[in-house]
Amino acid sequence: MADPTLEEVAKLFRLGPEEPDKPPRFAKVTAVSGDTATVSIGSGTADAVRCCDCAAGDVVLVVTMPSGLLAAVAVKGYSGGGGGGGVQTLTIGTVSGATFTDSGTATDPVLDLTVPTYVTCTESSWGDSYDTAYTWSNPGYGGREFKFSDGRLVREVWEWYTISGANMGEKTTSMSGRVTAFSDTPTVVTSSKVKTNVAVTAAVKSWSDTSCSFYCYAHGTTTGSPKALILIRMFGHWN
């Protein structure tokens, strides 16, 4: 075998002046196999890297890569063939139970993501609302409960009464038949609001799933029989 010429070596390693750019052109797909699309070029055919979802019969845009290989990068009109050249498979994450629906058209797809609600909350209430009780209207007591599907249970109970003297006054609020039983010992938090300029301290004496008793102690003068609105919050579980 004769030794290669310098021109042949230069061509083999693509040395020397660059070849003129070959403009993109459209070509018809004659066959598809894996990542390769066979397209008709002039009077013959050539293999191109399949960079779009094309199928036999599609007209694709073919470009020449720097390596000299052809690449089919887009389908003209997004139609034709079995592939259709439409929306590609796209993984954006994993959400158990989530679904996609298409509310658009073939040429203008609109994907709607539906994600299931994993934790639900059932709210119930009785008596005056907290805001109504704070207007010092009668009867001035009420409560509400938040029951979560994951087992959490939050209960709020409030009631106002008139403080007569600085001594602790006891108040019992009935909840019989209105609440869900706690399956554990809840965390209990108290707070208070007053009608006149007097500080108060609230403390829970006892609680059950039928009633709640608490004390209130006034700090300082109790002239004018100030009113105090006591709020009891309980955080626990129902199963």
pLDDT of residue 92: 57
**pLDDT, tens digit (0-9, with 9 covering 90-100), for 159-202:** 887 776 655 667 787 787 888 999 999 998 888 888 776 777 88
CATH of the domain at 58: 2.40.50
> In which domain, by residue range, is 229 found?
121-237
Classify residue 16: in a domain, yes or no. no
Strands (E), 149-208: 152-162, 169-174, 187-194, 199-207
HSE (side-chain half, CA atoms, 13 Å) at 34: 2
pLDDT of residue 166: 57
**pLDDT, tens digit (0-9, with 9 covering 90-100), for 229-238:** 889 999 999 9
pLDDT of residue 88: 52
State how many domains the chain has.
Answer: 2
Neighbour-count burial of 73, counting CB atoms closer than 10 A to its CB (0-12 exposed, 13-18 middle, 19+ buried): middle
Q: How far apart are CA 221 and CA 226, in angstroms?
A: 9
